Amino acid sequence: MSANKSISEWVWKGFTILLSVIVVPCFIWVWDADRRVAALEYQAENVNTNVTKILTYIESDDSSELAEIKLSLELMKRDVQKIKSEVKAIKKNYKRK
């Protein structure tokens, strides 16, 4: 009877070790993945909300103001490029002297 008890004890110990080595880490991995997915879903909801707000703003009557801002930005970019080229020309002339 002690041999049967000893075998059943070893089987039980082996089973619990198997659980602790395989199942518990898998559970932790699944829990961590679920937590990360929940965080990504939360971020996606925020992004969708922000995109909806931006699209609503663009499609509203203020879109003409947005077009003016874009035009002003393009003009500023053109002016900055012109200033850069003039500065380069001045540097070249200064280095020659």
**pLDDT (tens digit per residue) in 35-87:** 999 888 888 888 888 888 877 777 776 667 777 888 888 999 999 999 988 88
User: Does 49 lie in the same domain as 12?
Assistant: yes
Which structural domain range is residue 11 located in?
Answer: 1-60
**Per-residue DSSP letters for 36-97?**
HHHHHHHHHHHHHHHHHHHHHHHHSTTHHHHHHHHHHHHHHHHHHHHHHHHHHHHHHHHHH-
Spatial separation of the C-alpha atoms in residues 69 and 67, rounded to whole Å = 5
User: Does 53 lie in the same domain as 89?
Assistant: no
pTM of the model: 0.43
User: Does 81 lie in the same domain as 50?
Assistant: no
User: Does 35 lie in the same domain as 2?
Assistant: yes
**pLDDT (tens digit per residue) in 75-88:** 999 999 999 888 88
C-beta separation of 66 from 58 below 8 A: yes
User: Does 4 lie in the same domain as 51?
Assistant: yes
User: Does 49 lie in the same domain as 32?
Assistant: yes
User: How many structural domains is the chain composed of?
Assistant: 2
Q: Kindly tell me if the per-residue pLDDT of 10 is higher than 70.
A: yes
Q: Residue 61: what pLDDT?
A: 62
What spatial distance separates the first Cα and last Cα of the chain, rounded to whole Å?
Answer: 108
